[in-house]
Amino acid sequence: MKNVIKKGAIKCFSKANSLKTKIVRILQNNSGEGFVDTAVKILISVVIGGLLMGGLYLLFKDTVLPTLTQKVTEMFNYTGN
């Protein structure tokens, strides 16, 4: 009976020790993405998005809107000749 209990205790200790080793290895792992990397990616996305929106705004302001305003004015100033 003592032999069975001793074997069970050794088996339990061995599993606990391997679990402890796994947990320590996981906690000491330095790989992965850090906060600085994520912040830089977000900052780059915001800057590129702002530049795109600014370019589209300038395109619409100088090219599309004056033409659109002229067409609408011509449409409502129709004399019916």
Q: Where are the domains of the chain?
A: 1-31, 33-81
User: In terms of pLDDT, which residue wins out, 47 or 28?
Assistant: 47
pLDDT of residue 81: 56
N-term to C-term CA, the chain:
115
pLDDT above 70: residue 79: no
pTM above 0.85, yes or no: no
% of the chain beyond a pLDDT of 70: 93
pLDDT of residue 80: 60
H helix or E strand, kind and range, residue 9 = helix 2-27
Q: What is the mean pLDDT of the chain?
A: 84
What letter does residue 4 receive in the DSSP assignment?
H
pLDDT above 60: residue 78: yes
Q: Which two tokens stand for residue 71?
A: 């067409």
